[in-house]
Amino acid sequence: MVVNNQMKGLKTFISDLRNLKEEKDEEKRINIELAKIRAKFQSSTLSAYDRKKYVSKLLYIYMLGYPISFGHLEAVNLLTATKYSEKQIGYLAVALLLNENHDLIRLVINSIRKDLLSLDPDKNALALHAVANFGGRELCEAVYPEIQQLLMSAATENIVRQKAALSLLHIYRKFSDIMDMDLLEPIIMLLDDDDLNVSLAVSNFVFLIICREPSLHGLVCRKAIHKLKLIVSGRGYSSGYIYYSVPCPWLQVNLCRILLICHEEVTDETTKRTLINVLDRMLSIFKDYKDNKHLNVINAILFDAIKLAFAVDDSGSLYQKCMKCLGEMISNKEPNVRYLAFDTTAYLISCGHSLPSLKTHKDLILSSLRYKDVSIRKKSLELLYMMCDSENSKTMVNELLIYLPYLDSVSQEDLISKVASLTEIYADDYKWYVDVNLQLLRVAGKSVNDDVWHQLVRVIVNNESIQQYAVRNLFKLLQSDSTHDSLTRSGCYILGEYGYLIANEPGSGPLQQFITVYKKLHTSSVGTSVLLLTALLKLSNLQPDLHKRVAAVFKRYSVSLNTEVQQRACEYLQLLTLPKEFLSIVCEEVPVFTIPAKKSLPSISNRSDVSLTDSVTSTKEIDVSSSLPGFYRLCWRDKGILYRDSQVQVGALVEFRDLQVCLSLYFENRKTETYTSFSSTLLRTFPNFKVDSSFTDTIFSPDKQLQQRFSVDRLDELFDPPIIRVSFLAGVMRKVNLMLPIVLSKFLRPTSFDSSTFFQRWGLIGVEREAQLAFGLNGINSRLDERRLMKIVTGLHWGICSGIDTNVSNIVGAGILQLNAQNIGCLLRLEPNYQNDMIRLSIRSTNTTVANVLATNMQDILKNSFYSNT
């Protein structure tokens, strides 16, 4: 905080606090000062200078972490001061001590308006700072015309226009309904402003505009290309805008990010060639800069320029320059640069760009798994995972396993999850799959999630050809003195089922199997002990010679202090006394898993005659993150883009015919090359969800559009959204998982009630059949918007009941769901808090499960539908 040299009392107070050694002494000194300040504020002879000094002391105390319960009005009074220094302290105090909902904000509004109308640019700047920092709806509505005038007026000084643009950005971000939409185009035109500080401020505003208003992409694209060309060519700036020999770096970054969103509007070859030439110059103009102080600003531009180059340049003319820059940054010893290089590369791969030359840096990326910075370790593992394909999968997995023993537990968990997923996706040999997972269990068993060994058991049970090989290897591992619970559990499970397959092999006889399992009982956890007892029961059934030994074990553990182990031992001991035929029925070999397990890993096939990647899987098993933005949009819209990258676009159209829901998908090739082996496979479905029509041609040329159509005639049960996998060959095999926008609310029939009918039904259903959730929005820049919220609610097929709630901001709705030939009534009450961007959602239904599902789905959609780029 800047302290005026004349405020000696403030300087003395700060010096006294800094000289104190103990916290209690500091608190005592502050309490004395607070009492003195309170007394001074009550004095009728308080001068403007004293008010400024004492408010400054309060601010310092507040910044030390002590609560301030008085002095707010004195801070507000400073706003009306004539001296700049007093007004400055007043604005600083108001910004720190008040929030947008404070009772004193109404007193602040008039002072801010007066300063905005002033001809003094310093006063304008202070007022604009206040609006941008803590402007709530009431304040923004009051001062919006003045801020608009300051921005668009040619008589306004440039520094004030810059701050006006940022203040309007705050208003547009939080309260877009206040903004005049006709003003957006004039604001976009300000990208061409001669003052680059104004252009920089406006570029932040324009970025948000194009995220919300796709119709303006064309205008923005032209302006951004023109401005970027002027800067890169050296004609669009003066010497005052050069930062470490780089012209206007942050404006260049913003322009690249803007173009990354709207570059698809570049349709004519001349404009595209201009942009490519500009990017070519950006990628090469910095090659002579080797001084460290230039690197940060250079790299900041390069990261965004590389992303834009890959998105725009279909010909690949910039590929070598981009990869050279990326390679140098990946090799950089500076951790921040390396992390951002990994992040950029992962982004490019996720967009479908092929980076074959990246494999030359594989060893360096692998070595980063042992880097001291955990963020570098995580990002390098993510990048290695994305680099993996059908050609290098086995080599990549083997190299990752080499690093496994040397990682910390957190990094081990991440690596195990990635390796397990890779073996699921690319395994063409069951033995390799089993070997890799056994190595995970052996080396890092304590970090292995239960899902890994559960899935391993599923694969072994479902494939007879691998059972003997698997049980032999697991038995060898179980003979070790020390094994982790996850390895012991999977080993004893498989040994109990298929131990007879190795009973005649040397060192693997029934007695050796019994001894191995029995030894593990002494050192295992309760959950593992229960599985070991079960394995002994199955061994006894298949090997009658072990009957007495197993019975003795059960008798011993029938008095265990643990009730779970004791109960299991007593039950098994009783089973051994029953006729052998009965025991054989109880201990029958486990059948093939026909229902996919709900795990976090992709599920391997249920039948031994199906490849490893053809299985039906559950929600948590499949990565559908790339389609989620489109999925959330299409949950409340009837048509739009479900997924889009540089290679393929998938559009969706949802139609409603009485009780039938129809979904049409349209696949478009966005490249000039032809894709082969194009296919679409259902990974998850539900009863009555059927494929009406699909494409048969697997050759996907650029001039062709493929269509697939699905429908649901009726609902017999609750469901999760279907998932399909789109795959095609474009140099390498691409696979994209898409979650289809078929949710429960799509089947609601909107209805409406008057106030008395609604509350009568609301009361009859009762709170016991209510699902209520309170939540905020995902994303730092997400802001609740009243118009969009209403669109989402109506798009989710709720009928709006107007004039019912006393709070006009709340939304009340109703709908009828036909499930299993029954009509289920559903009522909605949604309470938005626009100031804090929070929502409380209450749904009551005659079926409690339906209420819970509707509420959970709606929460997920609402949380993810207010990003600045949706």
- Known binding-site positions: 40, 49, 53-57
Radius of gyration of the chain from its Cα atoms, rounded to whole angstroms: 34
CB atoms within 10 A of CB 13: 20
- CA neighbours within 13 Å on the CB side: how many for 8? 0
Assess contact for 828 and 818: CB atoms under 8 A: no
Tokens of 534: 């079960």
Tokens of 570: 């007593």
C-alpha span between 413 and 419 (Å, rounded)? 10
- Report which of 418, 390, 423 is spatially closest to residue 731, judged by C-alpha positions: 390
According to DSSP, the residues that pair with 568 across neighbouring strands are none
Assess contact for 334 and 372: CB atoms under 8 A: no
**Helices vs strands, H then E, count in the chain:** 34, 16
Cα distance from N-terminal residue to C-terminal residue, the chain: 39
- Report which of 407, 378, 408, 383 is spatially closest to residue 396, judged by C-alpha positions: 383
DSSP H helical ranges for 42-69: 48-63
Tokens of 7: 């405020």
Assess contact for 773 and 726: CB atoms under 8 A: no
- The residue with tokens 């496994």 is 404
CA angle 295, 301, 305 (to 5 degrees): 135
C-alpha span between 811 and 802 (Å, rounded)? 8
DSSP-derived secondary structure for 127-181:
HHHHHHHH--HHHHHHHHHHHHHHHH-TTS-HHHHHHHHHHHHHHHHH-GGGS-G
CB atoms within 10 A of CB 59: 21
- Report which of 644, 623, 678, 593 is spatially closest to residue 422, judged by C-alpha positions: 623
Which residues have CB under 8 Å from 303's CB, separation 6+?
A: 329, 340, 341, 344
- Report which of 749, 753, 771 is spatially closest to residue 761, judged by C-alpha positions: 753
- Report which of 580, 604, 600, 601 is spatially closest to residue 592, judged by C-alpha positions: 604
C-alpha span between 520 and 606 (Å, rounded)? 31
Which residues have CB under 8 Å from 133's CB, separation 6+?
A: 95
Assess contact for 648 and 352: CB atoms under 8 A: yes
829 membership: H or E segment, kind and range: strand 822-833
C-alpha span between 642 and 630 (Å, rounded)? 4
Angle between helix axes 217-232 and 196-212 (nearest 10 degrees) is 150
CA–centroid distance for 812 within its chain: 30
* 340-345 long-range contacts, CB within 8 A, separation 24+: 340/299, 340/303, 341/303, 342/368, 342/376, 342/379, 342/380, 342/382, 342/383, 343/379, 344/303, 344/306, 344/307, 345/383
Assess contact for 434 and 470: CB atoms under 8 A: yes
